[in-house]
Amino acid sequence: MKKICFISTIPQAANFHLVNHFLKLRQKYEVSFIASTTDTKYLRKIGVDVEVLNGKIQREISPLRDLRALFCLFRLFRKNRFDAIHSLAPKAGFLSMLAGIIAGIPVRIHIFTGQVWVTKTGVMRFFLKVMDTLTAFMATHNLVDSFSQRQFLLRNRVVSDSKSKVLAEGSVCGVDTSKFSPNPSERLKIRKGLNIPEKSLVYIFLGRLKKDKGVLDLAKAFIKLPLLQNPVHLLIVGSDEEGLEPKIRKICTSYEKRLHFVSLTEFPEQYLAAADVLCLPSYREGFGNVIIEGASTGIPSIASRIYGVMDAIQENETGLLHEAGNSDELAAKMNMLLKDPKLRKKMGENALVHSRQHFSKETVTKAWFDYYQGIVG
């Protein structure tokens, strides 16, 4: 049985996105996973061999720590003699592809899921872009999780046309339609727990609280809505990685009772089911999987007109787009769906159908399995 090893900076990438792929791949391959933390119980439960590097692969640049991580990866690759390695995230990609070359791994795959350097400037932008370019060069195969992102990477000469590919219609993992679906009982339960009236309109942000996710723009847009005349609430769900909650609360001071925070949850589908419109005002995304998850629960999205996101939304059919960083335009789009319940309902219905027809987990998982059969054998 041939052996495949996945490497990521954090195990959440596998816990939340790759479990179905692992289950399918294990029908034919021996699957391993290398991460930096011990939060891998679920992966072990489904039979994935897990190796923990005790924090050696981290997002922050640290020459000494990164050199140790490179040596550890090289030693693991040479010991296990994997037939293929597959990296996720920039740092894991660069170190894994380099270690894979030194260890003589024949198939080296890296997947691009968004570029950190897009929102950077100066030396840091140049350095991070060079790292991505070198990672792509060292890999034998590059996957990209959206067509628009692939075109961006081609224009910027990060990947080559011959080595890069998008599987199915995009998305790393697709959407679990049995999990993400309209759920009236959960809708009432979550709203009651958050003290949100049943008939209120709820906008939801679901993701990491970071500036480049546009959450501050969302707060600014929210207070521009006619809130005094309408029962509107903003629900923000996700880990606050940059300490933005106090800033968001300050922006929304006059409407504090309409603002709700929930930290990182294992049940995002419950909060999507409780909402009416998803907002993703990001400055960068690889694909924006939360959009198709929201769509599968029957709600439309309002998101930035950037690469990656545009693959997940059919503009004016399943959702609306606005220019990234423009809180006035974002507020206008939010107000449009606030004032027009019929349009909101129709877009939600369209989104549900589109998501399930094009981005089901079964479709994406089959594409991954077929891809591996083609290059690993």
Name the burial class of residue 49, with classes exposed (0-12), middle (13-18) and buried (19+) by CB atoms within 10 angstroms of its CB. middle
Angle at 66 between CA 150 and CA 30, to 5 degrees: 65
pLDDT, tens digit (0-9, with 9 covering 90-100), for 220-262: 999 999 998 899 999 999 999 899 999 999 999 999 999 999 9
| Residue 113 near residue 92 (C-beta atoms within 8 A) | no
Instruction: Provide the pLDDT confidence category of residue 20 given band limits of 50, 70 and 90.
Output: confident
Residue 213 pLDDT > 60: yes
Instruction: Provide the pLDDT confidence category of residue 43 given band limits of 50, 70 and 90.
Output: low
pLDDT, tens digit (0-9, with 9 covering 90-100), for 129-169: 999 999 999 999 999 999 999 999 999 999 999 999 999 99
On the question of a common fold for 3-174+361-375 and 184-358, the answer reads yes
pTM for the whole structure:
0.91
Give residue for tokens 């996710």.
213
* CA dihedral sign of residues 346, 348, 351, 355: negative
Q: Does domain 3-174+361-375 have CATH number 3.40.50.720?
A: no
| Residue 51 near residue 33 (C-beta atoms within 8 A) | yes
Convert 32-95 into a string of H (helix), E (strand) and C (coil).
EEEECCCCCHHHHHCCCEEEECCCCCCCCCCHHHHHHHHHHHHHHHHHHCCCEEEEECHHHHHH
Structural domain spans, the chain: 3-174+361-375, 184-358
Tell me the mean pLDDT in the region 283-300.
Answer: 95
Q: What is the pLDDT of residue 63?
A: 78
Let me know how many helices (H) and strands (E) the chain has, helices first. Answer: 16, 13
* Percentage of residues of the chain with pLDDT beyond 70: 92
Q: What is the pLDDT of residue 9?
A: 78
Rounded to the nearest 5°, which phi and psi values hold at 195?
Answer: 60, 45
| Residue 87 near residue 97 (C-beta atoms within 8 A) | yes
Homologous superfamily assigned to 184-358: Glycogen Phosphorylase B; (3.40.50.2000)
